[in-house]
Each structure stands twice: as C-alpha cells, then as structure tokens.
Structure 1
Amino acid sequence: MLGRILIVGAGPVGLTLACELARYGVGVRLIDRSPEPTRTSKALVIWSRTLELMDRMGCTPAFLAAGLHARGATLRSGGQVLGGTRFTEIASPYPFALMIPQAETERLLTEHLAGFGVAIEREVALSDFSQAAGAVTARLSHAHGREEVVSIPFLIGCDGAHSRVRHGLDLAFAGQAQGDEWLLADVRGAGPGAPPPDEVAVYLHRDGPLVLFPIPGGRARVVATVGRLDPEHPRPDPSLDAVQALVEARAGAGLHLSDPVWLSHFRIHERKVGQYRVGRVFLAGDAAHIHSPAGGQGMNTGMQDAVNLAWKLALVLRGEAAPDLLDSYSPERAAVGEAVLRNAARLTAAATLTSPAAQAARNLALRALLGFHAVRDRMAATMSEIEIGYPDSVLSEGPGAGLRWPPEHDAGPPPGAGGAPRFALYAEDGPAGAALAARFPTLLAPEMRPAPDGRLHLVRPDGYVGLNAEAGDWAAAARYLARLAPS
C-alpha cells in the first residue's frame, strides 16, 4: 500500500504545501534534516496575493497580528527623494507589505499544520529515491543511523537551493551568480535620520545601493553592496561599526544602529530549472528557482508554487480528477518563476550600476517615471504579485481566463477543510447550475454564486479564473469540467 505524500523541506514552502494537503484531507509526511527551525529573519515580506491565498488556507489573522504593515517604499539619492510607491494603492484587501521574519512565518505555519494533526519530522533526511509508473521509493536517514524505505505516491522537493530532490532528478539549475558581495545586518535603529517605521527605504549611492527594511519590534534589516566578490580573499562577517559607517556614508547621519542579531555577507544567485516535474516527483520554491531578493518575491513565489500544486495533487490522489491535471503545474509555475527572476534581475542591475553617467541617467529616469501615478501603481501591483496569472495555461479558457479572481467578488473559498478542493461556479441560472454540480460532484462546489458581470465563470480552488463564458453557456462549462474529470 502506498504511504502518504512525502514533502522534503520544512521551510515556508514545504509547510504551506503540507498545510494545504492536510486541509484537503490528504495524508502527508513533512521531513527536514535540521534539528530545529530557522532562528533568523531570512525572508521578510509576505505580499498581498500570498495573504489572499492564506485567507483560503484559513491562517491570515495570526500573520496579520504578528507582522508589521509597511505602507510604501521611497527611493533616495544624495539626500533627495527620487520618488516612491505607496502599497496602500494595491487593489487588494491587504494593501501593504506584511513585514514578518521567516522564523515567525515558519512558527505560525507549523502551528497551523499542527491543527490538522501533522507534525514536522526533524533530523530526517532524504538519502535517495527512485520512481516507477505507480510509485516513488524513497530511502530516509533518521537520527542515530536508523534507515527507512518508504513507498509513496508523490515526492515533492521543497528543500532549497541545494535540493537533494533536484540533484536526484539530475536537473540543471541554469543561471549565474551576480558579481557583487552584499552585506546583511539585522539591527535596532533609532535617531532623527531613521526612515518612517512603516516604510522600505532605498538609498541609491555612487558606491552601491543600501536598503532599510522595517522589522516588527523596532528592528530593521540593512542590505547593501560592499564591493565585487573576491573568492580568494573572502571577507569576514561585518562588524556593527562597519555597518554603521556604511549607513552613514550612503544614507546620511542621524541613524544609530545597535543590538545586532545577525551580521553576514551573501551573494545573489539567479538560477532556475527548466521543468518543475519529472514523473511523480515535483519541485517547489528555492529547489526550483532562486533569484535576487530585490522586491521580496522569493518566498512568496515558492508559497504560491505550493498552493498551485496542492489542490491538483489532492484531486488526483483522491481519484476526483484525471491524472493529467498535474501536467499543468510545471508550465504554469515555471512561467511565473521566469517572470519573477527576470524582474528581480532588472531591479538589481539598475540598483548596482557603477558608471557615474549611468547612475545619473537612472536617477533622472526614476524621478520622471515615479512622478506618474500609473507607474507607481504598476510598480506596487507587480511587487504585490496580484497581477500574476496563468493566461496561457491549458486550464484557462475564455477572455481573461487565468487571471486572479477579484477577492471583492469572492463569496468565500470553495470547500476544503476535511474534503477535496472544488471549482466555484459564478452564474445566474440556478437549476442549470445545480444540474452541472450534480454531474461533476468531484470537481464543482454544489452552491452557485452570483456572477458580478452577468457571465459564467468557473473559478479554480486557488482563486484564478478557469473558464469565462457567455451567460447560459452551460455546454462550455460541461466541456471544461469533462476535460478534468476522471475517466
């Protein structure tokens, strides 16, 4: 008998996937080789679209209570403001960037997962695996040398940039490393030169960028370039005095730093696999894509990988959808990963220009462009990820299909807790809708919801439009669901 789905890696992505599968009543094992969760802040921001999806998961309130609501970002150079964007203009119930340390994100997701009776299995590592047509066989190494062999229906690698699962699939992690070395410091900052406590502050200096991110509890993260990487002469971890001097040089005097809890250097890698699935093995998060932290999209993109995959795995594993539904995961999320990587790389390249002439031209362009309301809004929408969609997916049919279903039109998520996910039907004809739900009970929620535009919509369990058809086109709805139904 096949066991539960095995997820390797208990960071935010693996935890999100485990929570969603457990919510759908799917058996899951979540393993991690580390003896304890992360203690550092790492990924800092949860964006609007991820919070909307967490509404469907049922865990948003705890995160809102624990995080800091950043209302905007301001770009400065030479003591002058170039412009900025206000996150308050994001068209979402969550018009802000939720600043919350990754350690807190993992803690809250672990607590949410425990509500489904699932615990992380720590000090358990994936040694190797193989797959056949109907199952994956995995060898696990436990603490104190115990070995375990399990047969599982699916294996998902959420195990980060050095993914054992990705290596086991022999997939190329194509890309490159950015040439600069960066400084990171989590500190306490105070003084008349401190930016507003709900603002991300970007300083574009001739020697390189400096960014200050607010953290709950009156703390801040400092990120800045410190020069080109020299592999033969690695820099020691920075001192607080060195960080203080760098902040004063690039942001001006008046901000006093103290109480450091994390001082380090890092390098930006921009890499991605060509496919997120091989047979019964899947990749999500940093195991599939890593990129510049510019814009704070990395963890959010990975968590959204997990949400996309979870409902498809649940339907297929329960026999409530055709197995080829899983074919949509890799192309959908690979396209998103490529776009996020490209945007983050462009932001990083613009911020790290070294030519004085190029820096001056950049600053002039930013001042001009950020003077337009439409540009500021587009920048905020891109960062928040509310514009992410799947217009080219095989699951998208009709005008606007694949786009995010506006939360203001959502009558609540389709059923999930304790049962399989379902598509939601938005239409006007009650009897025809009831007949459609009766015909496809494993795919469609029984209740029909009013359509905001008089058309007929099938909305996926992850809140994206699957079908957009003319009002009363029940044949189109039936054809769409018949493609997904089990044979």
Structure 2
Amino acid sequence: MADVLIVGAGPVGLTLACELARYGVSIRLIDRAPQATQTSKALVVWSRTLELMDRMGCTEAFLASGLRARGATLRGGGRVLGGPDFSDIASPYAFGLMIPQSDTERLLAEHLRGFGVAVERGVELTRFSQTADGAEARLSHADGREEQVATAFLIGCDGAHSAVRHGLGLPFRGTAQGDEWLLADIRLDGAGVPPGDAIAVYFHRDGPFVIFPIPGGRARVVATVGRADGRPRPDPTLEEVQALVAARAGPGLRVFDPVWLSRFRIHERKVSEYGRGRVFLAGDAAHIHSPAGGQGMNTGMQDAVNLAWKLALVRRGAAAPSLLDSYSSERNAVGEMVLRNAGWLTAMATLTHPLAQAVRNRALRLFLGFHVVRRRMAAAMSEIAIGYPASPLSVGPGAGRRWRPEDAAGPPPGAGADPRFVLYAADAERGAALAARFPGLVQPVPRANPEPGRLHLVRPDGYVGLAAGAADWDAAAHYLKERGPV
C-alpha cells in the first residue's frame, strides 16, 4: 500500500510527489493523460516558489532553463504609467522566472525520477471511498485493466474538473468573467518590441493587452477580444493576432511563427475547505482564478509544499494527526487572497467606460510614482509577502511570517529529507536539550538567532511557527508538546 496516492501529474502533483519522495514517504502519482503538457500554459515561477525549490533541490535546473524577467511596465493613454521593478523583491531570486509549463513539468518529473518515482500515465481515478485509516480507490488503466488500491492519504491535484473534489462532494463556488480572451505564443519583431526581460502591459481603450517574454526569443500575447457569448469559436488566426497587436501596441510590431493560438474565458472558483478526512485537494482542484499576476500555478505548488511536510510528519508518527487540520485553514486564506487580488486586477484592466479608464490611468501614474507602492506590488506578485499569521500553528508576535532565506544559518530549514522544525536561539546547550525531548519534531542542532533577544521555531516550509523571548523555553516546550504525537 502506498502511503499517499496523488491524482494529477501537473506542476502541483509533481511538486507534492517530489516533496514526499525526498521525505521518504511512499507514493504513487497517476494521471489519466497519456503524455505530459506540451504547451506553455502557466509561464512564470515566482521568487517564493524558487526559494521553496531550494529545499527541494531543483532550483538550479529551473534557472538554467528559464528567462529572468526584471520588471513590468504599464502603459495607457499613450504614455508609460510606471510599474514594479523586480529587483525590489527581498529574495535571492529578485525576478520572475519565465518558463513554459511544459518545461516546468519536464524538470519536476526528472527530479522525481531521481527518487526512483515515475508518473503512471493513462491511469484514471474512477471512484474512491474513505476508510478508518485511509482511502480505497478504483483505478482504470489505458489497457482496460481495473485496479483496487488502498492508501493512507488520497490527494487530488487533478485540476479544475477534479474527480477527487467531485468525489468529496465539495461545492466549487464562483463565477465566469464576462470577456473572451485571446492567447498567442509567437515571435515579435519590428519597431516598438518591448525589452526581452520585461512584461509589457497596455491599457487600451478596447481592452487590455499584455506581452510576456518566453525563453528562446518567443513572446506570449494575451488580450480581451470582446464579450463572451457562450458559443464555440475557432482558434484565432495569425492575421487576427497581427491586427490586435497593431491596434493596441503599435503598427511597427510584426508577429510570426506561432506555436499556440487559443481563446479562453476566466473562471474564478474556490472550495471552502481543502479536504475531508484523509482526502485533500491542492492547486486548481481547490481554486481557479484570473491569470492576472501569474499566481495560479505558484499558489498551487505552494499548496503542495505546505501539505507535504505535514503529511510526512504525521505519517512517520512524529506529529499528531491534528497537524493536518492546519493545511485547509492556511491555504484557504491564501486562496481567498489570491482570488480577490487577481479578480481586482482583472476588473481594473477591463474597465470599458472612457472616464473610468482615464481615472484608472491617472491613478496608476500617481501611485506608481512612489517607490513603496512599486515595492509592495513586486512583493505581492512574487508571493514573498504571503504568511500565516492567523494559523493555529502561529504562536507569538510575528509568528506566521516568512523566515528570510538569508537569515538561515547553513542549509535552509527542511533541507534534505528532514521535515522538522528548526530552533533559532541564543543558548545552544538548552536548545539541544529541548530538541532531544522532541527528536521527531525538531532538528537536533539549534542555530544562532539573527534576531537578538528572541527564540524562534521555524517550520519545515520556512515560516515562523513560534516567536518568543530568548528565555521562554517553557513556551517552546509547550508548542512542541501540543503538536507532537499523541
């Protein structure tokens, strides 16, 4: 019996599989599709995700394959309004890494194979039921073979039409945005081509138009093309894309060599709970939203990282099963925030009234003139601003915040196959004694605290669990006792 059965081998399922495999948890990863994604789809891996990839051990492969976007420029009414400079991101990865989803999946699958695990393709989950100690799942193979499997945990990373979510009976509430959008992965040349290391956003009177750089000298164009009427329409032609580019970005730009032309609508939906019993959801199975800001895939991958260390500790008996309750509460709050922010950005970009457009452009030009606004915008896009201040795992002033990677002495917390808390304290002897009392939960060697007068327990995913005074050892012991095995 596999400890964990993961349904869906996109970026989220692959991230979860990589994390669990390096923690020594036995897994199966299935996907009903016969092959991996072949198109670019989600394009950007943000700073916080790259930081977490450091813990996974695969950042370098991504950096070698991606293109580093250094900022974004917003234009409207014939002038530059401003935009975030990603060098303001307080991270070792102060950029957005532009990389097609097909490459993201390829690199994660290669990393997973290093643990001796491969994706089982052409395998579909047809039904499941929960048991006292896990789940029973029925799998259908491409050759017609049926298989009944038992697993301690079942995780749905199977997208917006999730079979796992449907099996749980969880409502997927939300709406569809009213516009029809065009997407084109092409090449650009001519006068007015934006810099190859920046995202270019045009607020045009007929609707927004965005150019994203892609590795290999390509670019993605995304734009609204009118109100959606629900009727199926053929994919756009290159001529249609050229006319759109000329109208909204300037006649000097020429598009050619298309590899993907498509239309889509934006759906904004989310569950209110990310699991029941021993069955959980992550990624698009739990939340879908506007692509504005490029948050979707990153949010899903961070769902996976959040869930993985908790599953590992519970499965090895080092933590109480109640630890898993924090997954839904933490990631539900993040999902709500991402949905709200992406929806707001989309609404702002798609204003149709000329007066509203003029007011938006003036306001953006004013506010983007302030460095603090640009810095906060970059922090939000990069997801380094995400934290868990309201989590049941966050205790003490400042708990729940991201522990900056540069504040970690030696390997980052959770590096290698060790999903344990890291103690940062001034008294190494007392710290070692505390760790010895909770060997399954805390790494044995405490680290010097970069914040004088403080004691911190940092979670395996790099967020502060406990924040206390340097001498408050009782608080630390109580924190660990509450979360240790029953």
Structure 2 length-normalised TM:
0.99
What is the aligned counterpart of 1:346 among 337, 344, 347?
344
Partner residue in 1 for 2:462: 463
Whether the 8 Å CA contact 2:413–2:461 is kept in 1: the answer is no
Whether the 8 Å CA contact 1:314–1:420 is kept in 2: the answer is no
Give a deviation string over 1:132-166, Cα, whole Å, max 9, x none.
Answer: 22120000000111000011000000000000000
User: Against the structure 1 CA distance between its residues 415 and 405, is the aligned structure 2 distance closer, same or farther, given a 3 Å change threshold?
Assistant: closer
Whether the 8 Å CA contact 2:74–2:81 is kept in 1: the answer is yes
Q: Considering only aligned residues, what root-mean-square deviation do their CA atoms show, in Å?
A: 0.8
Partner residue in 2 for 1:85: 84
Partner residue in 2 for 1:282: 280
Cα drift, residue 415 of structure 1? 5.0
Listed as ranges, the matches of 1:448-487 within 5 Å are 448-454=446-452, 455-487=454-486
Q: Give the number of aligned pairs.
A: 484
Q: Does 1:425 align with 2:423?
A: yes
Cα drift, residue 3 of structure 1? 2.8
Partner residue in 1 for 2:360: 362
Partner residue in 2 for 1:119: 118
Output the CA distance in 2 between the equivalents of 1:399 and 1:248. Answer: 53
Output the CA distance in 2 between the equivalents of 1:360 and 1:33. Answer: 48
Match of 1:205, as an amino acid?
H
Give a deviation string over 1:414-435, Cα, whole Å, max 9, x none.
Answer: 3553x44110010011110110
Match of 1:484, as an amino acid?
R
Listed as ranges, the matches of 1:233-252 within 5 Å are 234-252=232-250
Match of 2:258, as an amino acid?
P
Output the CA distance in 2 between the equivalents of 1:219 and 1:3. Answer: 42
Q: Does 1:146 align with 2:145?
A: yes
Match of 1:333, as an amino acid?
R
Output the CA distance in 2 between the equivalents of 1:422 and 1:85. Answer: 36
Give a deviation string over 1:153-182, Cα, whole Å, max 9, x none.
Answer: 000000000000000011100000000000
Partner residue in 2 for 1:311: 309
Partner residue in 2 for 1:256: 254
Whether the 8 Å CA contact 1:315–1:420 is kept in 2: the answer is no
Output the CA distance in 1 between the equivalents of 2:472 and 2:50. Answer: 33
Cα drift, residue 343 of structure 1? 0.1
Output the CA distance in 2 between the equivalents of 1:85 and 1:370. Answer: 8
Output the CA distance in 1 between the equivalents of 2:230 and 2:346. Answer: 21
Output the CA distance in 2 between the equivalents of 1:296 and 1:453. Answer: 33
Whether the 8 Å CA contact 2:413–2:458 is kept in 1: the answer is no
Output the CA distance in 1 between the equivalents of 2:253 and 2:183. Answer: 17
Structure 1 length-normalised TM:
0.98
Whether the 8 Å CA contact 1:457–1:468 is kept in 2: the answer is yes
Listed as ranges, the matches of 1:207-246 within 5 Å are 207-232=206-231, 234-246=232-244
The sequence identity of aligned pairs, in percent, is 73
Partner residue in 1 for 2:299: 301
Output the CA distance in 1 between the equivalents of 2:461 and 2:153. Answer: 20
Cα drift, residue 453 of structure 1? 1.2
Output the CA distance in 2 between the equivalents of 1:420 and 1:170. Answer: 35
Partner residue in 1 for 2:25: 26
Listed as ranges, the matches of 1:161-180 within 5 Å are 161-180=160-179
Partner residue in 1 for 2:384: 386
Whether the 8 Å CA contact 1:416–1:422 is kept in 2: the answer is no
Give a deviation string over 1:335-376, Cα, whole Å, max 9, x none.
Answer: 000000000000000000011110011001001010111111
Partner residue in 1 for 2:396: 398
Partner residue in 2 for 1:69: 68
